[in-house]
Amino acid sequence: MEEDNHLLSIVLSPSPSSFQKCIVVALALFSWILIHKWNQRNKTVGPKTWPLIGASIELLKNYERMHDWLVDHLSVSKTTTVPLPFTTYIYIAEPSNVEHVLKTNFSNYPKGELYRSYMHVLLGDGIFNADGEMWRKQRKTASFEFASKNLRDFSTTVFREYAVKLSNILCNVSVNHHDIDMQDLYMRMTLDSICKVGFGVEIGTLSPNLPDNSFAQAFDEANTVVTLRFIDPLWRIKRFLQIGSEALLERSIKVVDDFTYSMIRRRKAEWKNNKMKHDILSRFIELGKEPESGFNSDKSLRDIVLNFVIAGRDTTATTLSWFTYMLITHPDKAEKLYMELKSFEEERAKEQNIKLIPYDKDDVQSFERRISQLAGLLNYDSLGKLSYLTAAISETLRLYPAVPQDPKGATRDDVLPDGTKVKAGSLVTYVPYSMGRMEYNWGPDAKSFKPERWFKDGALQTFSPFKFTAFQAGPRICLGRDSAYLQMKMTLAIVCRFFEFKLVPDHPVHYRMMTILSMAQGLKVQVSRRT
């Protein structure tokens, strides 16, 4: 018994050497913390950091306002480094740094494995999430399609059709004096449009009764959750246990996949029956006949479809929403645009020797006929004459870019033009939302909505894509830029000519943290008809 007690005392009581080791470790840890805090004492730029966890606390605390939090930091320093437990985020807002990442040293800054691991469940190997040969193949095919006159003409017809449908819904809303969520309407319109143009499918979410659409809801939920992964160190554990946000993600992805795969099966069946259409999905199905194309599986087509949905639906709809909000909050700009559209309508009718249909804004039938008449005057070329509308869209994108930040993964160590050292594995993110608000980029009125800045000597001017980064730049510059402007101008030319909006009292307008800069609570407005 005594021998057992002796052994137990040895086990429970640390030897002097073990105790000394514990003291050394504790002192080392305490010293490390003190040194870290000492180094932080005079820090004037960048977020607060802590040993081991880096700036995680600051990121989590500011997550819901992250874009404005970055504005605060990038206003002080053109490059902001945010260390995290497993990687480092480097945010950039100065054009020369952006050009270095997006063009000069493009090969060193692909999407990267870290970013791809976050987004793969939603975007798979689609063009927004792909690197290397798969990205090049998709871009080459998409580039060919977007350059097609047939696709442009078809898109113009579809965009016109859905702009008129949207306007007729607004007319009914104004008659019944109902409030309406414009972001929801724009999302419905652009979803119907991209499904028609991209995949030859009519899904009818912009029907007058505004039916619920499970695909759209699930897609938004999935988008929100994968964005949260960027700052949630526990997401892999949640995914393994199927709890919390990751459980919601799995349910959402199932709905998204069921819709997408059914669309692909339908188009393939039509293709086999020689009913091939000239939409983008059909083009990829045709290319998939070649075994080495990379487009011969339903999974690869699914990824292509979802990437085009996020490109053609979300980005355009959110820009239209912020544009409408800008007009509501800047009535002088709204009036200037209205006068341009009214003059345009009269001039186009005169050019074509067409008598404009007289209408009474209180007579719904004559009002809708006049809407259709204006729509008939709009085409790709005529829309190019609406310079103030174009400038106002660009100004909206400057302040409210559809993709507010875009990370790239560094494959090798690098040094940015401003001297910032980049370690391999870091995520270097250019921040269009912040860039549009920086005085060192746009002058002292950078935060003001001012379409006039897009004119020089009375003519529209352009800015470097490394300064105005709403459509990215370099080899990955957005292929759908012209298509996006076409749909936005087509829609807004009609909507802003015939309607004006007021924000529903006390309705909050702020962004929701997801890949796209959408409004968290939508855009609830009251609609009235114009003369």
* Position 19 confidence tier, pLDDT thresholds 50, 70, 90: low
The pLDDT value given to residue 268 = 85
Q: Which domain holds residue 479?
A: 56-529
Q: Is residue 30 part of a domain?
A: no
Mean pLDDT of 454-461: 95
Q: Is residue 41 part of a domain?
A: no
List the binding residues: 478
Q: Is residue 173 part of a domain?
A: yes
Q: Is residue 32 part of a domain?
A: no
The pLDDT value given to residue 84 = 84
Q: Is residue 3 part of a domain?
A: no
The pLDDT value given to residue 28 = 52
* Position 529 confidence tier, pLDDT thresholds 50, 70, 90: very high
The pLDDT value given to residue 36 = 45
Mean pLDDT of 430-446: 98
| CA–CA distance, 195 with 201 (Å, rounded to integer) | 5
The pLDDT value given to residue 34 = 47
| Cβ contacts of 162 within 8 Å, gap of 6 or more | 189, 192, 193, 196, 206, 491
Q: What confidence tens digit (pLDDT) does each residue in 392-423 have?
A: 999 999 999 999 999 999 999 999 999 999 99
User: For residues 201 and 266, is the Cβ–Cβ distance under 8 A?
Assistant: yes
List the binding residues for heme: 478
Q: Is residue 101 part of a domain?
A: yes
The pLDDT value given to residue 49 = 81
* Element containing residue 274 per DSSP (H, E): none
Q: Is residue 261 part of a domain?
A: yes
CB count within 10 Å of CB 238 equals 18
The pLDDT value given to residue 142 = 81
CB-based burial of residue 239 (10 Å sphere; 0-12 exposed, 13-18 middle, 19+ buried)? middle
**How many folded domains does the chain comprise?**
1
Give the domain CATH number at 393: 1.10.630.10
Q: Is residue 493 part of a domain?
A: yes
